[in-house]
Amino acid sequence: MASLCSFASSSSSCCHKLSHPLKPSSLLNHSITLPRIRNRTKKSTSVIVRPLFCALNDVALQYRKLGDSDLNVSEITIGTMTFGEQNTEKEAHDILNYAFHRGINALDTSEAYPIPMKKETQGKTDIYIGSWLKSQPRDKIILATKVCGYSERSSYLRDNAKVLRVDAANIRESVEKSLKRLGTDYIDLLQIHWPDRYVSLFGEFFYDPSKWRPSVSFVEQLQAFLELINEGKVRYIGVSNETSYGVMEFIHASKVQGLPKIVSIQNSYSLLVRCHFERKYLDMNSEAAKRGRLNLFPGYMERYNKSVAREATKKYLEVAKKHGLTPVQIALGFARDRPFVTSSIIGATSVEQLKKDIDAFTTTERPLPADVMADIEDVFKRYKDPTIL
């Protein structure tokens, strides 16, 4: 089974979730699933529920089977897109050390990182992770990364290309360069960051037929992944920012052609983005928000400033306050409890912020009480897609 990923975040942190697209009972929050042997058929396991409102010292993170893979992923995955832009190498190492000290065993990166994408910083995230990995037991860490999809603006990622594509040559070059930067000889989970074909993404809600373009076939993409899996350079494959159509086409191609199966989907999912793929839960009504990514990078994801997202956020904050919860607790608790989420990808820019996120994740009652969910649903009825302009 494939697993589907969603994102939820608080302050400047970002959470991604991986979930199961076919059977809700076996979803991941964010995720990556990489087996060294392809076409595994082992079924995903259900989540074991722990006692609610436990004292912090009595609570540990849960681990969940990622799709059809043999990977047991912690219910929190560390997102790293700020490493190399907002975070120095030392800060990145401190964050990773603390995360793994608290039981997180998975991290998610991309050849595109850090974000915002810039030629002069591209690859720094991987380099920082690679220098940290040198002192870590590699077999205890689930490392997920991504190959970029179609792009006319990011050709600098390749040695000789005017346009990025998800074809055999681009996939191989991406993987070889990622392995070198990361200082490892294999990737646990390799994901397609966004599709090769045209899809409405990153704030574009409606499909625009005029933007259709020829695309690399699903079979060709899977064949390229098969070669890398057979070489031992990739264990499992997944997708990101993908549609239900794309997921089903990959599954069909895998079944008919006997090719590797995708085991995860990393898509946005949060209180603010429940109907469409998006990325952030961000409270702009605080002093700390001045250091938030929407303020640090003018023009970045403007839909969160120009839409009714702030208004919806205010209503969710009122729900949190009513029930004695913090913004972090209600945001992460909601995403954590979805039956289609296996692991939440949380990006933090400091150890202090990460500590608050993990504490909220592990100590907030699970599942969130029925009265809290009822109030959340009331807000949702009024703001189904608050980030859409």
Q: Which residues are catalytic?
A: 113
Euclidean distance between the first and the last CA atom of the chain, given in angstroms as a whole number: 34
- The crossing angle, in degrees rounded to 10, of helices 89-101 and 124-133 is 50
Which stretch of DSSP H or E encloses residue 18? strand 14-18
CA angle 58, 59, 60 (to 5 degrees): 130
Cβ-proximal residues to 73 (8 Å cutoff; 6+ apart), any chain: 18, 28, 31, 32, 33, 63, 64, 65, 66, 105, 106, 142, 342, 343
Cβ-proximal residues to 175 (8 Å cutoff; 6+ apart), any chain: 147, 187, 190, 228, 233, 234
SS3 83: strand
Alpha carbon 247 to its chain centroid, in Å, reads: 16
User: How many other CB atoms are there within 10 angstroms of residue 167's CB atom?
Assistant: 15
Task: Take residue 149 and report the two structure tokens written for it.
Answer: 């999809």
Task: Take residue 151 and report the two structure tokens written for it.
Answer: 């792009």
**What are the backbone angles phi and psi of residue 238, rounded to the nearest 5°?**
-150, 180
